[in-house]
A and B are shown apart, each in its own frame.
Chain A
Amino acid sequence: MSNTNPLLDVSGLTKHFPIKGGFPIKRTVGAVQAVDGLDFQVAEGESLGLVGESGCGKSTTGRLITRLLEPTGGKITYRGQDITHANRRQLAPIRSEIQMIFQDPYASLNPRQTVGKIVAGPMEINDINPAGGRENRVRELLEIVGLNPEHYNRFPHEFSGGQRQRIGVARALALEPKLIVADEPVSALDVSIQAQVVNLLQKVQRELGIAFVFIAHDLAIVRHFSQRVAVMYLGKIVEIADREDLYDNPRHPYTRALLSAVPEATVEAEPRERIRLVGDVPSPINPPSGCRFRTRCWKATEKCASEAPPLVQADGNKPGHLTACHYPEVRDAVPAPRLAKDPEAAA
């Protein structure tokens, strides 16, 4: 789906943060391998979900794509243009096309600026003067995200968490971007409010045809929002596929374990099979050799320790469903998390 000129093409993307130590002269003594060789594409108007546990590098990936961080390796191509190491001036026209929505709606809005000023900010910085003036455009944007345009002169503290996140969305939309990186856009919100913001983002994506990189740890929300999903573990993509394929037929043991660990708000006589992983995610400073998941994997052999599995199409997988595992799970071995729906259980 993404072979014909993807909007965003990432190959071998790597970010190692140096660790400085020593006295009196600080030198680099190691590196946090936050992101280590990512390959993926995002097509125009598509939403790619990035899931994984804390420390897997999903937020770093988002910041690399938006070039808030400088990659240490690999290549990022945006609409055919290599932006891996583009400087400020080269990035300027692209910055308006790639926008970001942040997790914390309290920390990401300047408390001393009015909503009008916050949302107009990107237009000011990029010196864009829409027809009808900036103020009109801001009012229009507030209306799109479901806020009252009359609230133009209010300050962020006058809004609830969900409303603030809407302001963040309006700001991201101000420059008519082609790609939005949303880093955990709903995880700081109350359950009853999350759905409001997810619906808003979905509306925006459909009506304005904006591509999304949707970073979240909530697997159900990612499935709802993203056509394709990539699962990350310790800086690597372990599996990437269309959402139906990934959730119904996980081939990587980690994907399977992750899906089975999600508690679901249903009451049933037969509980789902649960895979319990032991231990914690290892440190990205000193990741395990070979397959990074092997220390917690129940299938690991010596091969897993010596050879890193490539991200390839495993036997029987649909094109585009890539798995990085030497011993992928048998296809259709696991029934989908739940086949028949309990008529009593809502949701």
Chain B
Amino acid sequence: MTSTDQQPFLSVKDLKVHFSTEDGIVKAVDGLSFDIAKGQTLGIVGESGSGKSVTNLTILGLHDAAHTQIDGEILLDGQELLTAAEKELEKLRGNKMSMIFQDALASLSPYHTIGAQIAEVYRKHTGASKKEARARAIEMLKRVGIPQPDVRVDDYPHQFSGGMRQRAMIAMALVCDPELLIADEPTTALDVTVQAQIMDLLKDLQREFGTAIIFITHDLGVIADIADDVLVMYGGRCVERGTKKQVLGNPQHPYTLGLLNSMPALDGPVDVPLSPIPGSPPSLLNPPSGCRFHPRCAFAEKVPGGKCSSVSPVLELTEGRGSACHLELSKRDELFADYAAIAGHN
């Protein structure tokens, strides 16, 4: 499942994104690396402010260049994106790579019909005629499951329901058959029954076109449903990586464990309190020293010499699996099992 054995389609290496603000430098992303192969889905999990959205805006070149300092390397199919000219990026955006945003209503223009907005993308990248582009828009709406696409193509966004708007966004993102699709919390604003529809749709389209998908979410349930590989972010860094089965089934990082333990299950015990992670996510203006999770970590005192608060742990990957934690790997299983038992889960 991991993509180390083949040439990755997208490769992000030691990405650092720092914003300069009035209060100081915000280290939104601080040394992030990952690869993704064609036809794969990488799930990025993290809380608000963990840097997951910033990473993806940077891939697309949508950051505010005047206030951003970027280091590292982003290679899309061998092409360097960070140094590419805006003209080059314009050719790629919506064509080779595209994005679905969380809030479909805010991302669609209220003054243009759905069809016109989809056709615009297609015409820009292919030079098709108006008529061809309209036919293509209808075809795309049909493919994402909009009923009566030849009529609805002339509707405005406000005439669509929430689920249909998200479908229209997906149609727009896929109109040029992109090879990389970035989906930033695409189902967060939707109801569960509609969310299930949208995720099925994304899976079908991926099977059909072999698109690589980066799926950003805070919902581990959604990750379990859609991702092949999972990357867990905390405080602008990757704390754990692996296949979905490895990360969700056998977490190695205390943060991942804490997240999994803090969520009630549909069949879990009801008379015990939940086991939250204490404290709150760190400020990236002034992140904690050493491991950024250490002030909230239940295991920090198990590491001798106060290493957690002084030395930043390195993410070491073997075959795409690993975590950034000072706890000895051999001891973790036992400690984590004890923790889960105290928490009243399992």
Interface residues of A (CB under 8 A from B): 53-54, 160-163, 190-196, 198-199, 202-203, 217, 219-221, 223-224, 243, 247, 257-259, 261-267, 274, 276-281, 336-338, 341-347
Given contacts A199-B274, A264-B266, contact A192 B193 (CB under 8 A): no
- What class of interface size applies to chain B in its complex with A? 35 or more
Q: Could you tell me if B267 and A190 are in contact, using CB atoms closer than 8 angstroms? A: no
B340 within 8 A of A: yes
Q: Could you tell me if B266 and A261 are in contact, using CB atoms closer than 8 angstroms? A: no
Residue in A195, A223, A257 whose beta carbon sits within 8 Å of that of B270 in the complex: A223
A-B contact pairs, 14 of them (CB 8 A): A53-B194, A190-B281, A192-B259, A192-B281, A192-B296, A223-B266, A224-B268, A243-B270, A257-B193, A261-B192, A263-B192, A277-B193, A280-B164, A344-B249
| CA A163 to CA B278, docked complex, whole Å | 12
Q: Could you tell me if A265 and B224 are in contact, using CB atoms closer than 8 angstroms? A: yes
Closest chain B CB from A312 CB (angstroms): 25
Q: Nearest residue in A to B276 (C-beta to C-beta)?
A: A195
B48 within 8 A of A: yes
Q: Could you tell me if A217 and B224 are in contact, using CB atoms closer than 8 angstroms? A: no
Residue in B48, B200, B261, B264 whose beta carbon sits within 8 Å of that of A190 in the complex: B48
| CA A261 to CA B260, docked complex, whole Å | 19
Q: Could you tell me if B264 and A53 are in contact, using CB atoms closer than 8 angstroms? A: no
Q: Nearest residue in A to B245 (C-beta to C-beta)?
A: A267
Q: Could you tell me if B276 and A220 are in contact, using CB atoms closer than 8 angstroms? A: no
Q: Nearest residue in A to B281 (C-beta to C-beta)?
A: A190
Q: Nearest residue in A to B280 (C-beta to C-beta)?
A: A160
Q: Which of B137-184 contact A (CB under 8 A)?
A: 147, 161-164
Closest chain A CB from B152 CB (angstroms): 13
| CA A143 to CA B266, docked complex, whole Å | 32
| CA A243 to CA B223, docked complex, whole Å | 26
Q: Could you tell me if A346 and B340 are in contact, using CB atoms closer than 8 angstroms? A: yes
Residues of A with C-beta under 8 A to B244: 267
Q: Could you tell me if A221 and B264 are in contact, using CB atoms closer than 8 angstroms? A: yes
**Ordered nearest first, which 6 A-B pairs have the shortest CB separation?**
A263-B221, A195-B276, A265-B220, A53-B191, A195-B274, A195-B262
| CA A198 to CA B273, docked complex, whole Å | 8
Q: Could you tell me if B223 and A265 are in contact, using CB atoms closer than 8 angstroms? A: yes
Residue in B250, B268, B276 whose beta carbon sits within 8 Å of that of A193 in the complex: B276
Q: Could you tell me if A347 and B219 are in contact, using CB atoms closer than 8 angstroms? A: no
Q: Nearest residue in A to B247 (C-beta to C-beta)?
A: A267
Q: Nearest residue in A to B194 (C-beta to C-beta)?
A: A280
Q: Could you tell me if B263 and A195 are in contact, using CB atoms closer than 8 angstroms? A: yes
Residues of A with C-beta under 8 A to B340: 346
Given contacts A193-B276, A195-B262, A346-B261, contact A263 B162 (CB under 8 A): no
Q: Which of B185-243 contact A (CB under 8 A)?
A: 191-197, 199-200, 218-225
| CA A223 to CA B271, docked complex, whole Å | 11
Residues of B with C-beta under 8 A to A276: 196-197, 200
Closest chain A CB from B175 CB (angstroms): 23
Residue in A194, A198, A220, A345 whose beta carbon sits within 8 Å of that of B249 in the complex: A345
Q: Could you tell me if B196 and A343 are in contact, using CB atoms closer than 8 angstroms? A: no
Given contacts A345-B249, A347-B260, contact A54 B191 (CB under 8 A): yes
B335 within 8 A of A: no
Q: Could you tell me if A344 and B250 are in contact, using CB atoms closer than 8 angstroms? A: yes
| CA A312 to CA B274, docked complex, whole Å | 34
B258 within 8 A of A: yes
Given contacts A191-B218, A195-B276, A276-B197, contact A267 B162 (CB under 8 A): no
| CA A277 to CA B47, docked complex, whole Å | 30
